[in-house]
Chains A and B, each alone.
Chain A
Amino acid sequence: MNFGDFVRRCHRAGKLVVQPRMGMSSPARMRAGLLATKNANATTVGTITLDSFTRNGDLASVERALRDGVGLNGYPIVHYDPDVTRAMLDGVMAADFPVQVRHGSARPLPIMKALAAAGLHATEGGPVSYCLPYGRTPLAESVRNWAACCAVLRDSVEGEPHVETFGGCMMGQLCPPSQLVALSVLEAMFFYQHGMRSISVSYAQQTSVAQDLEALAALRRLCAQLLPHARWHVVVYAYMGLYPRTPAGAMTLLGKAAELAVRSGSERLIVKTVAEAHRIPTIEENVSALEHAAAVAGGTVAHAPAREPDGGQVYAEAYTLVEAVLNCGSDIGAALSTAFRRGLLDVPYCVHPDNAGRTRSFIDTDGRLQWADIGSLPLSGVVGRRRSRSVTAADLMEALSHIQRVFDAEALEQANRRAL
Protein backbone atom coordinates (compact mmCIF):
# COMPACT_ATOMS: atom_id res chain seq x y z
CA MET A 1 0.00 0.00 0.00
CA ASN A 2 1.09 3.56 -0.66
CA PHE A 3 2.85 5.18 2.31
CA GLY A 4 0.41 8.10 2.48
CA ASP A 5 -2.68 5.90 2.21
CA PHE A 6 -1.40 3.72 5.05
CA VAL A 7 -0.87 6.73 7.30
CA ARG A 8 -4.29 8.16 6.50
CA ARG A 9 -5.92 4.81 7.18
CA CYS A 10 -4.25 4.63 10.62
CA HIS A 11 -5.43 8.15 11.36
CA ARG A 12 -9.00 7.21 10.59
CA ALA A 13 -8.59 4.32 13.02
CA GLY A 14 -7.52 6.81 15.67
CA LYS A 15 -3.81 5.95 15.66
CA LEU A 16 -0.93 8.38 15.39
CA VAL A 17 1.78 6.86 13.17
CA VAL A 18 5.22 7.21 14.75
CA GLN A 19 8.47 6.97 12.83
CA PRO A 20 12.15 6.99 13.74
CA ARG A 21 14.96 8.81 11.92
CA MET A 22 17.19 5.79 11.60
CA GLY A 23 20.02 4.79 9.31
CA MET A 24 22.77 2.22 9.71
CA SER A 25 25.87 1.51 7.60
CA SER A 26 25.30 -2.20 7.07
CA PRO A 27 22.31 -3.99 5.53
CA ALA A 28 22.16 -6.41 8.48
CA ARG A 29 21.93 -3.59 11.06
CA MET A 30 19.52 -1.62 8.87
CA ARG A 31 17.27 -4.68 8.64
CA ALA A 32 17.47 -5.21 12.39
CA GLY A 33 16.53 -1.56 12.94
CA LEU A 34 13.54 -1.78 10.61
CA LEU A 35 12.36 -5.02 12.21
CA ALA A 36 12.63 -3.50 15.67
CA THR A 37 10.62 -0.49 14.45
CA LYS A 38 7.98 -2.78 12.97
CA ASN A 39 7.72 -4.84 16.15
CA ALA A 40 7.67 -1.88 18.53
CA ASN A 41 4.57 -1.42 20.65
CA ALA A 42 3.31 1.44 18.48
CA THR A 43 1.78 2.12 15.06
CA THR A 44 4.93 2.61 13.01
CA VAL A 45 6.38 3.12 9.56
CA GLY A 46 10.05 2.49 8.76
CA THR A 47 12.84 4.87 7.85
CA ILE A 48 16.05 4.48 5.94
CA THR A 49 18.15 7.59 6.61
CA LEU A 50 21.07 7.94 4.24
CA ASP A 51 24.65 8.81 5.21
CA SER A 52 26.05 12.19 4.31
CA PHE A 53 28.68 10.93 1.86
CA THR A 54 25.87 9.46 -0.23
CA ARG A 55 23.93 12.73 0.12
CA ASN A 56 26.87 14.51 -1.48
CA GLY A 57 27.54 11.89 -4.14
CA ASP A 58 30.92 10.92 -2.62
CA LEU A 59 30.81 7.16 -3.14
CA ALA A 60 34.59 6.81 -2.80
CA SER A 61 34.38 7.94 0.83
CA VAL A 62 31.55 5.45 1.47
CA GLU A 63 33.79 2.67 0.19
CA ARG A 64 36.74 3.83 2.28
CA ALA A 65 34.65 4.01 5.45
CA LEU A 66 33.17 0.54 4.93
CA ARG A 67 36.63 -0.86 4.17
CA ASP A 68 38.23 0.77 7.20
CA GLY A 69 35.33 -0.09 9.49
CA VAL A 70 34.59 3.60 10.24
CA GLY A 71 30.89 4.01 11.07
CA LEU A 72 28.72 5.97 8.63
CA ASN A 73 25.92 8.25 9.82
CA GLY A 74 23.35 6.48 7.63
CA TYR A 75 22.61 3.73 5.10
CA PRO A 76 24.55 4.14 1.82
CA ILE A 77 21.76 3.12 -0.54
CA VAL A 78 23.56 4.08 -3.76
CA HIS A 79 26.66 2.08 -2.85
CA TYR A 80 24.79 -1.19 -2.34
CA ASP A 81 23.44 -3.12 -5.29
CA PRO A 82 19.62 -2.77 -5.49
CA ASP A 83 19.37 -6.51 -4.82
CA VAL A 84 21.18 -6.06 -1.52
CA THR A 85 18.64 -3.44 -0.43
CA ARG A 86 15.75 -5.58 -1.70
CA ALA A 87 17.03 -8.52 0.34
CA MET A 88 17.49 -6.23 3.35
CA LEU A 89 13.80 -5.22 3.04
CA ASP A 90 12.48 -8.66 2.17
CA GLY A 91 9.86 -9.77 4.68
CA VAL A 92 10.15 -6.44 6.51
CA MET A 93 8.58 -3.86 4.21
CA ALA A 94 4.93 -4.73 3.70
CA ALA A 95 1.52 -3.21 3.03
CA ASP A 96 1.19 -2.51 6.74
CA PHE A 97 4.82 -1.43 7.13
CA PRO A 98 5.82 1.02 4.42
CA VAL A 99 9.37 2.40 4.50
CA GLN A 100 10.51 5.93 3.66
CA VAL A 101 13.95 7.07 2.48
CA ARG A 102 15.19 10.31 4.12
CA HIS A 103 18.33 11.92 2.79
CA GLY A 104 18.87 15.70 2.59
CA SER A 105 20.36 16.01 -0.87
CA ALA A 106 20.04 18.78 -3.42
CA ARG A 107 21.45 16.41 -6.08
CA PRO A 108 19.26 13.41 -5.37
CA LEU A 109 18.88 11.75 -8.80
CA PRO A 110 21.17 8.78 -8.03
CA ILE A 111 19.33 8.33 -4.72
CA MET A 112 15.90 8.37 -6.42
CA LYS A 113 17.07 5.83 -8.99
CA ALA A 114 18.50 3.61 -6.26
CA LEU A 115 15.38 3.69 -4.12
CA ALA A 116 13.13 2.99 -7.09
CA ALA A 117 15.37 0.10 -8.16
CA ALA A 118 15.14 -1.35 -4.66
CA GLY A 119 11.33 -1.32 -4.72
CA LEU A 120 10.86 1.68 -2.41
CA HIS A 121 8.34 4.41 -3.22
CA ALA A 122 8.32 6.93 -0.37
CA THR A 123 10.83 9.70 0.24
CA GLU A 124 11.22 13.21 1.51
CA GLY A 125 12.72 16.52 0.46
CA GLY A 126 12.02 19.58 -1.59
CA PRO A 127 13.87 22.04 -3.80
CA VAL A 128 14.38 24.57 -0.98
CA SER A 129 14.46 22.51 2.19
CA TYR A 130 16.95 19.97 0.84
CA CYS A 131 19.12 22.74 -0.55
CA LEU A 132 19.55 25.80 1.66
CA PRO A 133 20.27 23.91 4.91
CA TYR A 134 22.25 21.14 3.24
CA GLY A 135 25.30 22.57 1.54
CA ARG A 136 26.29 24.84 -1.30
CA THR A 137 24.36 23.58 -4.35
CA PRO A 138 22.76 26.63 -6.05
CA LEU A 139 19.00 26.90 -5.47
CA ALA A 140 18.20 27.04 -9.18
CA GLU A 141 20.07 23.79 -9.71
CA SER A 142 18.27 22.15 -6.81
CA VAL A 143 14.92 23.20 -8.32
CA ARG A 144 15.90 21.54 -11.61
CA ASN A 145 17.12 18.43 -9.83
CA TRP A 146 13.96 18.05 -7.78
CA ALA A 147 11.79 18.46 -10.88
CA ALA A 148 13.80 15.69 -12.52
CA CYS A 149 13.42 13.57 -9.39
CA CYS A 150 9.65 13.85 -9.51
CA ALA A 151 9.81 12.48 -13.05
CA VAL A 152 11.92 9.53 -11.85
CA LEU A 153 9.51 8.88 -9.00
CA ARG A 154 6.52 9.07 -11.35
CA ASP A 155 8.03 6.84 -13.97
CA SER A 156 10.02 4.25 -12.10
CA VAL A 157 8.69 3.42 -8.66
CA GLU A 158 6.50 0.38 -8.20
CA GLY A 159 3.04 1.68 -7.31
CA GLU A 160 2.36 5.31 -6.48
CA PRO A 161 5.17 7.46 -5.11
CA HIS A 162 4.84 9.43 -1.88
CA VAL A 163 6.86 12.55 -1.05
CA GLU A 164 7.07 14.59 2.10
CA THR A 165 8.16 18.22 2.22
CA PHE A 166 11.01 19.07 4.59
CA GLY A 167 10.11 22.77 4.41
CA GLY A 168 8.60 22.69 7.89
CA CYS A 169 12.04 22.16 9.41
CA MET A 170 14.38 24.69 7.75
CA MET A 171 17.68 24.77 9.70
CA GLY A 172 16.08 22.87 12.58
CA GLN A 173 15.59 25.94 14.75
CA LEU A 174 14.99 29.69 15.00
CA CYS A 175 12.94 30.01 11.81
CA PRO A 176 9.58 31.58 12.72
CA PRO A 177 6.65 29.17 12.20
CA SER A 178 4.94 31.21 9.49
CA GLN A 179 7.84 30.77 7.11
CA LEU A 180 8.06 27.05 7.92
CA VAL A 181 4.37 26.68 7.10
CA ALA A 182 4.71 28.74 3.92
CA LEU A 183 7.69 26.71 2.69
CA SER A 184 6.03 23.40 3.47
CA VAL A 185 2.93 24.40 1.50
CA LEU A 186 4.95 25.82 -1.40
CA GLU A 187 7.08 22.68 -1.66
CA ALA A 188 3.92 20.57 -1.63
CA MET A 189 2.56 22.71 -4.47
CA PHE A 190 5.85 22.21 -6.31
CA PHE A 191 5.49 18.45 -5.94
CA TYR A 192 1.88 18.60 -7.08
CA GLN A 193 2.85 20.63 -10.12
CA HIS A 194 5.36 17.90 -10.95
CA GLY A 195 2.78 15.15 -10.83
CA MET A 196 2.89 13.96 -7.24
CA ARG A 197 -0.55 13.20 -5.79
CA SER A 198 0.33 11.51 -2.50
CA ILE A 199 2.07 14.14 -0.40
CA SER A 200 2.82 14.89 3.23
CA VAL A 201 3.58 18.33 4.64
CA SER A 202 5.91 18.73 7.59
CA TYR A 203 6.15 21.00 10.57
CA ALA A 204 8.78 20.83 13.31
CA GLN A 205 7.89 21.51 16.94
CA GLN A 206 9.25 24.94 17.88
CA THR A 207 9.40 26.88 21.16
CA SER A 208 5.73 27.47 22.07
CA VAL A 209 2.88 24.95 22.18
CA ALA A 210 0.23 27.61 21.53
CA GLN A 211 2.11 28.94 18.52
CA ASP A 212 2.74 25.42 17.20
CA LEU A 213 -0.98 24.65 17.39
CA GLU A 214 -1.67 27.81 15.43
CA ALA A 215 0.97 26.86 12.90
CA LEU A 216 -0.47 23.39 12.36
CA ALA A 217 -3.96 24.85 11.98
CA ALA A 218 -2.56 27.32 9.44
CA LEU A 219 -0.79 24.51 7.58
CA ARG A 220 -3.98 22.45 7.29
CA ARG A 221 -6.00 25.47 6.22
CA LEU A 222 -3.54 26.44 3.51
CA CYS A 223 -3.26 22.86 2.22
CA ALA A 224 -7.05 22.58 2.04
CA GLN A 225 -7.14 25.82 0.03
CA LEU A 226 -4.16 25.23 -2.24
CA LEU A 227 -3.98 21.45 -2.68
CA PRO A 228 -7.63 20.52 -3.05
CA HIS A 229 -6.92 17.53 -5.27
CA ALA A 230 -3.91 15.97 -3.54
CA ARG A 231 -4.12 13.23 -0.92
CA TRP A 232 -2.12 14.84 1.86
CA HIS A 233 -1.38 14.43 5.54
CA VAL A 234 0.60 16.35 8.13
CA VAL A 235 3.78 15.07 9.76
CA VAL A 236 5.11 16.68 12.93
CA TYR A 237 8.81 16.43 13.78
CA ALA A 238 9.87 16.35 17.40
CA TYR A 239 12.07 19.40 18.10
CA MET A 240 14.81 19.68 15.45
CA GLY A 241 17.22 22.05 17.20
CA LEU A 242 19.67 21.65 20.09
CA TYR A 243 18.08 18.83 22.04
CA PRO A 244 18.03 18.37 25.83
CA ARG A 245 21.05 16.43 27.08
CA THR A 246 19.35 14.66 29.97
CA PRO A 247 17.37 11.50 29.16
CA ALA A 248 14.38 12.77 31.16
CA GLY A 249 14.44 16.15 29.41
CA ALA A 250 14.71 14.47 26.01
CA MET A 251 11.74 12.19 26.73
CA THR A 252 9.57 15.01 28.10
CA LEU A 253 10.18 17.10 25.00
CA LEU A 254 9.33 14.11 22.81
CA GLY A 255 6.13 13.61 24.80
CA LYS A 256 5.17 17.25 24.13
CA ALA A 257 5.69 16.63 20.42
CA ALA A 258 3.38 13.61 20.57
CA GLU A 259 0.72 15.69 22.34
CA LEU A 260 1.13 18.43 19.76
CA ALA A 261 0.69 15.94 16.93
CA VAL A 262 -2.52 14.51 18.39
CA ARG A 263 -4.02 17.80 19.53
CA SER A 264 -3.46 19.38 16.13
CA GLY A 265 -5.06 16.45 14.32
CA SER A 266 -1.76 15.52 12.63
CA GLU A 267 -1.39 12.04 11.22
CA ARG A 268 2.29 11.19 11.76
CA LEU A 269 5.16 12.03 14.14
CA ILE A 270 8.91 11.68 13.65
CA VAL A 271 10.58 11.05 16.97
CA LYS A 272 13.91 11.98 18.55
CA THR A 273 15.74 9.87 21.10
CA VAL A 274 17.66 10.34 24.34
CA ALA A 275 20.87 10.16 22.28
CA GLU A 276 19.94 13.13 20.08
CA ALA A 277 22.20 15.68 21.76
CA HIS A 278 25.13 13.27 21.80
CA ARG A 279 25.46 10.75 18.97
CA ILE A 280 23.65 8.49 16.50
CA PRO A 281 21.04 6.55 18.51
CA THR A 282 21.01 2.79 18.94
CA ILE A 283 18.14 0.63 17.75
CA GLU A 284 16.95 0.21 21.35
CA GLU A 285 16.93 3.98 21.94
CA ASN A 286 14.83 4.40 18.81
CA VAL A 287 12.34 1.78 19.96
CA SER A 288 12.04 3.42 23.40
CA ALA A 289 11.35 6.77 21.75
CA LEU A 290 8.69 5.27 19.46
CA GLU A 291 6.96 3.51 22.33
CA HIS A 292 7.08 6.56 24.59
CA ALA A 293 5.59 8.77 21.87
CA ALA A 294 2.88 6.22 21.13
CA ALA A 295 1.99 5.92 24.80
CA VAL A 296 1.71 9.69 25.25
CA ALA A 297 -0.29 9.98 22.03
CA GLY A 298 -2.66 7.24 23.23
CA GLY A 299 -3.44 9.28 26.33
CA THR A 300 -4.02 12.56 24.51
CA VAL A 301 -7.37 13.83 23.29
CA ALA A 302 -7.49 14.80 19.63
CA HIS A 303 -8.61 18.20 18.46
CA ALA A 304 -8.59 19.97 21.79
CA PRO A 305 -9.97 23.32 20.70
CA ALA A 306 -7.00 25.46 19.68
CA ARG A 307 -7.12 29.04 20.81
CA GLU A 308 -6.72 30.05 17.18
CA PRO A 309 -8.53 27.37 15.19
CA ASP A 310 -8.09 29.41 12.02
CA GLY A 311 -4.31 29.65 12.40
CA GLY A 312 -4.32 33.18 13.82
CA GLN A 313 -1.19 35.27 13.34
CA VAL A 314 0.79 32.37 11.87
CA TYR A 315 -1.84 31.95 9.16
CA ALA A 316 -1.85 35.68 8.38
CA GLU A 317 1.94 35.71 7.93
CA ALA A 318 2.14 32.38 6.08
CA TYR A 319 -0.68 33.35 3.72
CA THR A 320 1.11 36.60 2.89
CA LEU A 321 4.39 34.79 2.19
CA VAL A 322 2.74 32.14 0.01
CA GLU A 323 0.81 34.75 -1.93
CA ALA A 324 3.96 36.79 -2.56
CA VAL A 325 5.74 33.74 -3.95
CA LEU A 326 2.83 32.67 -6.13
CA ASN A 327 2.81 36.21 -7.54
CA CYS A 328 6.40 35.63 -8.76
CA GLY A 329 5.13 33.30 -11.49
CA SER A 330 3.06 30.24 -12.24
CA ASP A 331 6.00 27.83 -12.28
CA ILE A 332 6.42 27.21 -8.57
CA GLY A 333 10.07 26.17 -8.81
CA ALA A 334 11.02 29.32 -10.68
CA ALA A 335 8.85 31.40 -8.36
CA LEU A 336 10.69 30.00 -5.33
CA SER A 337 14.06 30.94 -6.85
CA THR A 338 12.83 34.43 -7.67
CA ALA A 339 11.34 34.88 -4.21
CA PHE A 340 14.64 34.03 -2.52
CA ARG A 341 16.52 36.32 -4.87
CA ARG A 342 14.20 39.19 -3.92
CA GLY A 343 14.29 38.33 -0.23
CA LEU A 344 10.54 37.58 -0.18
CA LEU A 345 11.61 34.38 1.50
CA ASP A 346 14.65 34.61 3.75
CA VAL A 347 15.67 32.05 6.36
CA PRO A 348 17.28 33.44 9.54
CA TYR A 349 20.94 32.47 10.03
CA CYS A 350 21.06 30.42 6.84
CA VAL A 351 24.44 31.15 5.22
CA HIS A 352 23.64 29.64 1.81
CA PRO A 353 24.65 32.10 -0.95
CA ASP A 354 21.11 32.10 -2.38
CA ASN A 355 19.54 33.12 0.92
CA ALA A 356 19.50 36.87 1.49
CA GLY A 357 20.39 36.38 5.15
CA ARG A 358 18.81 39.65 6.29
CA THR A 359 16.15 38.25 8.61
CA ARG A 360 16.57 37.53 12.32
CA SER A 361 14.33 35.91 14.90
CA PHE A 362 13.99 35.90 18.67
CA ILE A 363 12.11 34.01 21.35
CA ASP A 364 9.73 36.33 23.20
CA THR A 365 8.86 36.19 26.90
CA ASP A 366 5.93 33.84 26.16
CA GLY A 367 8.29 31.48 24.38
CA ARG A 368 6.93 32.32 20.93
CA LEU A 369 9.40 32.45 18.07
CA GLN A 370 9.05 35.88 16.47
CA TRP A 371 10.62 38.04 13.78
CA ALA A 372 13.27 40.44 15.08
CA ASP A 373 14.11 41.64 11.59
CA ILE A 374 12.00 40.91 8.52
CA GLY A 375 14.61 41.98 5.96
CA SER A 376 12.70 42.19 2.67
CA LEU A 377 9.96 39.77 3.65
CA PRO A 378 6.57 41.17 2.59
CA LEU A 379 5.39 41.19 6.20
CA SER A 380 5.63 44.83 7.12
CA GLY A 381 1.84 45.17 7.33
CA VAL A 382 1.42 41.90 9.21
CA VAL A 383 4.00 41.91 12.00
CA GLY A 384 4.74 44.70 14.43
CA ARG A 385 7.92 46.78 14.10
CA ARG A 386 10.92 45.75 16.15
CA ARG A 387 14.37 47.04 16.60
CA SER A 388 16.93 44.34 15.96
CA ARG A 389 20.40 44.55 17.37
CA SER A 390 23.54 42.70 16.46
CA VAL A 391 23.82 39.24 17.91
CA THR A 392 26.78 38.09 20.02
CA ALA A 393 27.98 34.51 20.38
CA ALA A 394 26.35 34.37 23.81
CA ASP A 395 23.02 35.73 22.44
CA LEU A 396 23.01 33.14 19.69
CA MET A 397 23.81 30.31 22.10
CA GLU A 398 21.10 31.50 24.44
CA ALA A 399 18.48 31.35 21.69
CA LEU A 400 19.74 28.05 20.31
CA SER A 401 19.79 26.38 23.72
CA HIS A 402 16.48 27.80 25.03
CA ILE A 403 14.56 24.52 24.70
CA GLN A 404 17.54 22.45 25.85
CA ARG A 405 17.90 24.56 29.00
CA VAL A 406 14.19 24.59 29.84
CA PHE A 407 13.80 20.83 29.55
CA ASP A 408 17.11 19.90 31.16
CA ALA A 409 16.44 22.24 34.08
CA GLU A 410 13.01 20.73 34.61
CA ALA A 411 14.46 17.21 34.48
CA LEU A 412 17.20 18.04 36.99
CA GLU A 413 14.73 19.74 39.29
CA GLN A 414 12.50 16.71 39.28
CA ALA A 415 15.44 14.43 39.98
CA ASN A 416 16.44 16.65 42.92
CA ARG A 417 12.93 16.64 44.29
CA ARG A 418 12.82 12.87 44.13
CA ALA A 419 16.18 12.67 45.92
CA LEU A 420 14.90 14.74 48.85
Chain B
Amino acid sequence: MSLLPGKAAGRTDIARCRRGPVIVSSVASDAHTWNLVYLQLVIEELGYEVVNLGPCVPDDLLVQECRARLPAMVVISSVNGHGYQEGLRVVQRLRACPELRGIPMVIGGKLGITGGESSGHIDDLLSAGFDAVFDDGTAGIASFRRLLTALSPPEPMLEVAS
Protein backbone atom coordinates (compact mmCIF):
# COMPACT_ATOMS: atom_id res chain seq x y z
CA MET B 1 0.00 0.00 0.00
CA SER B 2 1.50 3.32 -0.90
CA LEU B 3 0.33 6.66 0.28
CA LEU B 4 1.94 9.65 -1.29
CA PRO B 5 4.16 7.76 -3.66
CA GLY B 6 7.85 8.36 -3.37
CA LYS B 7 8.59 8.85 -7.04
CA ALA B 8 6.41 9.28 -10.03
CA ALA B 9 7.00 6.91 -12.92
CA GLY B 10 8.79 8.66 -15.75
CA ARG B 11 7.16 9.02 -19.13
CA THR B 12 9.17 6.34 -20.83
CA ASP B 13 8.32 3.80 -18.15
CA ILE B 14 4.68 4.45 -18.72
CA ALA B 15 5.04 4.19 -22.45
CA ARG B 16 6.63 0.77 -22.03
CA CYS B 17 4.02 -0.52 -19.59
CA ARG B 18 0.98 -2.21 -21.00
CA ARG B 19 -1.18 -0.20 -18.65
CA GLY B 20 -0.77 2.32 -15.91
CA PRO B 21 -1.83 2.00 -12.29
CA VAL B 22 -5.23 2.94 -10.95
CA ILE B 23 -5.20 6.15 -8.95
CA VAL B 24 -7.44 6.15 -5.88
CA SER B 25 -8.01 9.52 -4.33
CA SER B 26 -10.14 11.52 -1.95
CA VAL B 27 -11.05 15.15 -2.60
CA ALA B 28 -9.59 18.22 -0.92
CA SER B 29 -11.91 18.47 2.09
CA ASP B 30 -12.50 14.77 2.75
CA ALA B 31 -10.50 13.07 5.49
CA HIS B 32 -12.11 9.60 5.39
CA THR B 33 -9.69 6.81 4.53
CA TRP B 34 -11.40 3.47 5.23
CA ASN B 35 -13.16 3.87 1.88
CA LEU B 36 -9.80 4.46 0.18
CA VAL B 37 -8.08 1.52 1.87
CA TYR B 38 -11.00 -0.74 0.99
CA LEU B 39 -11.14 0.39 -2.65
CA GLN B 40 -7.40 -0.11 -2.98
CA LEU B 41 -7.76 -3.75 -1.93
CA VAL B 42 -10.72 -4.29 -4.26
CA ILE B 43 -8.80 -2.89 -7.21
CA GLU B 44 -5.55 -4.69 -6.40
CA GLU B 45 -7.47 -7.94 -6.26
CA LEU B 46 -8.52 -7.30 -9.86
CA GLY B 47 -4.86 -7.29 -10.84
CA TYR B 48 -4.07 -3.61 -10.92
CA GLU B 49 -1.34 -1.67 -9.25
CA VAL B 50 -2.89 1.07 -7.10
CA VAL B 51 -1.52 4.48 -6.21
CA ASN B 52 -3.52 5.63 -3.20
CA LEU B 53 -3.20 9.39 -2.83
CA GLY B 54 -4.92 9.32 0.56
CA PRO B 55 -7.24 11.83 2.22
CA CYS B 56 -7.65 15.60 1.68
CA VAL B 57 -5.96 15.61 -1.73
CA PRO B 58 -5.57 19.14 -3.08
CA ASP B 59 -6.74 19.54 -6.71
CA ASP B 60 -3.23 20.44 -7.84
CA LEU B 61 -1.75 17.24 -6.40
CA LEU B 62 -4.36 15.05 -8.04
CA VAL B 63 -3.86 16.72 -11.41
CA GLN B 64 -0.09 16.46 -11.10
CA GLU B 65 -0.19 12.76 -10.16
CA CYS B 66 -2.57 11.93 -13.00
CA ARG B 67 -0.43 13.73 -15.55
CA ALA B 68 2.73 12.05 -14.32
CA ARG B 69 1.27 8.55 -14.22
CA LEU B 70 -1.34 8.45 -16.98
CA PRO B 71 -3.36 5.95 -14.96
CA ALA B 72 -5.58 3.21 -16.33
CA MET B 73 -8.38 4.78 -14.31
CA VAL B 74 -8.94 7.56 -11.81
CA VAL B 75 -11.18 6.49 -8.91
CA ILE B 76 -12.38 9.30 -6.70
CA SER B 77 -14.08 8.43 -3.44
CA SER B 78 -15.74 10.86 -1.06
CA VAL B 79 -18.13 10.18 1.80
CA ASN B 80 -18.16 13.38 3.87
CA GLY B 81 -21.00 14.94 1.90
CA HIS B 82 -18.98 17.46 -0.12
CA GLY B 83 -18.21 15.08 -2.97
CA TYR B 84 -20.69 16.61 -5.38
CA GLN B 85 -19.26 20.11 -5.12
CA GLU B 86 -15.64 19.00 -5.05
CA GLY B 87 -16.02 16.28 -7.66
CA LEU B 88 -17.49 18.78 -10.12
CA ARG B 89 -14.60 21.16 -9.55
CA VAL B 90 -11.75 18.69 -9.80
CA VAL B 91 -12.98 16.63 -12.76
CA GLN B 92 -13.18 19.76 -14.85
CA ARG B 93 -9.56 20.49 -13.98
CA LEU B 94 -8.56 16.93 -14.91
CA ARG B 95 -10.44 16.94 -18.20
CA ALA B 96 -8.87 20.27 -19.11
CA CYS B 97 -5.52 18.45 -19.49
CA PRO B 98 -5.35 17.11 -23.05
CA GLU B 99 -3.42 13.97 -22.04
CA LEU B 100 -6.11 13.03 -19.49
CA ARG B 101 -9.12 13.37 -21.76
CA GLY B 102 -9.35 9.71 -22.69
CA ILE B 103 -8.70 8.24 -19.23
CA PRO B 104 -11.70 6.66 -17.49
CA MET B 105 -12.68 8.60 -14.38
CA VAL B 106 -15.28 7.56 -11.84
CA ILE B 107 -16.53 8.94 -8.55
CA GLY B 108 -18.43 7.24 -5.74
CA GLY B 109 -19.32 7.32 -2.06
CA LYS B 110 -21.75 9.49 -0.15
CA LEU B 111 -21.66 12.52 -2.39
CA GLY B 112 -24.16 14.82 -0.65
CA ILE B 113 -25.46 15.27 2.88
CA THR B 114 -29.04 14.11 2.36
CA GLY B 115 -28.50 10.42 1.60
CA GLY B 116 -28.61 9.78 -2.15
CA GLU B 117 -27.93 12.51 -4.66
CA SER B 118 -30.64 13.78 -6.95
CA SER B 119 -30.46 12.58 -10.54
CA GLY B 120 -29.80 16.20 -11.45
CA HIS B 121 -26.59 16.20 -9.39
CA ILE B 122 -25.52 12.88 -10.85
CA ASP B 123 -26.08 14.20 -14.36
CA ASP B 124 -24.04 17.28 -13.49
CA LEU B 125 -21.13 15.05 -12.46
CA LEU B 126 -21.43 12.97 -15.62
CA SER B 127 -21.55 15.95 -17.92
CA ALA B 128 -18.63 17.55 -16.09
CA GLY B 129 -16.45 14.60 -17.11
CA PHE B 130 -17.00 11.49 -15.00
CA ASP B 131 -17.67 8.25 -16.90
CA ALA B 132 -19.62 6.76 -14.00
CA VAL B 133 -21.04 7.91 -10.67
CA PHE B 134 -21.60 5.42 -7.82
CA ASP B 135 -23.57 7.31 -5.23
CA ASP B 136 -23.83 5.35 -1.98
CA GLY B 137 -25.24 1.88 -1.89
CA THR B 138 -23.70 -1.52 -1.60
CA ALA B 139 -24.55 -2.42 -5.21
CA GLY B 140 -22.00 0.22 -6.18
CA ILE B 141 -18.98 -1.97 -5.53
CA ALA B 142 -20.30 -4.87 -7.62
CA SER B 143 -20.99 -2.73 -10.64
CA PHE B 144 -17.69 -0.91 -10.16
CA ARG B 145 -15.90 -4.29 -10.22
CA ARG B 146 -17.67 -5.16 -13.47
CA LEU B 147 -16.66 -1.85 -14.98
CA LEU B 148 -13.03 -2.31 -14.06
CA THR B 149 -13.00 -5.92 -15.25
CA ALA B 150 -14.50 -4.89 -18.57
CA LEU B 151 -11.92 -2.15 -18.97
CA SER B 152 -9.23 -4.54 -20.08
CA PRO B 153 -8.56 -8.24 -19.70
CA PRO B 154 -6.39 -8.95 -16.66
CA GLU B 155 -2.80 -8.73 -17.69
CA PRO B 156 0.33 -8.97 -15.62
CA MET B 157 1.98 -5.63 -14.95
CA LEU B 158 4.93 -6.41 -17.21
CA GLU B 159 6.83 -4.34 -19.66
CA VAL B 160 6.02 -4.96 -23.27
CA ALA B 161 8.91 -6.64 -25.01
CA SER B 162 9.79 -4.41 -27.92
Query: Do A and B come together as binding partners?
Result: yes
* Residues on B with beta carbons closer than 8 Å to the beta carbon of A64: 85
User: Do residues A396 and B29 form an inter-chain contact, with CB atoms below 8 A?
Assistant: no
Bound Cα distance from A135 to B45, whole angstroms: 26
Cα distance A396–B37 in the bound complex, in angstroms: 9
Please give, as numbers and ranges, the residues of chain A lying within 8 Å of B84 by CB-CB distance: 70
Assembly CA distance A28 to B30 (angstroms): 26
The answer to whether A71 and B81 have CB atoms under 8 Å apart is yes
A192 sits at the interface (CB 8 A): no
Contacts of B113 in A (CB 8 A): 71-73, 279-280
Interface residues as binary, B16-31 with A (CB distance below 8 Å gives 1, 0 otherwise) = 0000000000001111
Interface centre among B31, B115, B116 (most CB of A within 10 A): B31
Q: Do A52 and B31 form a contact, CB below 8 Å, given A73-B81, A136-B56, A351-B1? A: yes
Main secondary structure of the interface of B (DSSP, over half): loop
- Judge whether A349 and B37 touch: CB under 8 Å: yes
Q: Are A279 and B110 in contact (CB under 8 A)?
A: yes
> Which residues of chain B are near A68, meaning CB under 8 Å?
85
- Complexed CA–CA distance, A54 and B96 (Å): 27
Assuming A64-B85, A136-B4, A353-B3, is B115 touching A279 (CB within 8 A)?
A: yes
Size band of the A side of the interface?
A: 35 or more
Minimal Cβ-Cβ distance residue in B for A73: B81
Q: A70 vs B120: C-alpha distance in the bound complex, in angstroms?
A: 13
Decide yes or no: A351 and B52 within 8 Å by CB, A71-B81, A275-B115, A392-B41 being known contacts.
yes
Q: Which residue of A lies closest to B86 (CB)?
A: A61
Q: A53-B82, A397-B38 known; A351 and B115 CB under 8 Å? A: no
Chain A's closest residue to B121 (CB) is A70
Residue-wise interface mask of B (122-143) relative to A, using a CB-CB cutoff of 8 A (1 in contact, 0 not): 0000000000000010000000
Cβ–Cβ contact A391 & B41, under 8 A:
yes
Centre residue among A53, A173, A350, A357 by max chain B CB count within 10 A:
A53
Q: Cβ of B28: which chain A residues have Cβ within 8 Å of it?
A: 56, 58, 61
A52 and B29 contact, CB distance less than 8 A:
yes
For A392, the chain B residues whose CB sits under 8 A away are 41, 45
Q: Is A53 in contact with B38, judged by CB distance below 8 angstroms? A: no
Within 8 Å of chain B (Cβ to Cβ): is A419?
Answer: no
The distance from the CB of A108 to the nearest CB of chain B, in whole angstroms, is 14
Bound: A351/B81 CA distance, A = 21
Binary B-proximity of A171-192 (CB < 8 A = 1, otherwise 0): 1110000000000000000000
Residues of A within 8 A of B85 (CB): 61, 64-65, 68, 70
Q: Give chain A's interface residues, CB within 8 Å of chain B.
A: 51-53, 55-56, 58, 61, 64-65, 68, 70-73, 104, 133-136, 171-173, 275, 278-280, 349-353, 357, 391-393, 396-397, 400
B-to-A contact residues, CB < 8 Å: 1, 3-4, 28-31, 33-34, 36-38, 41-42, 45, 52, 54-57, 80-82, 84-86, 110, 112-116, 136
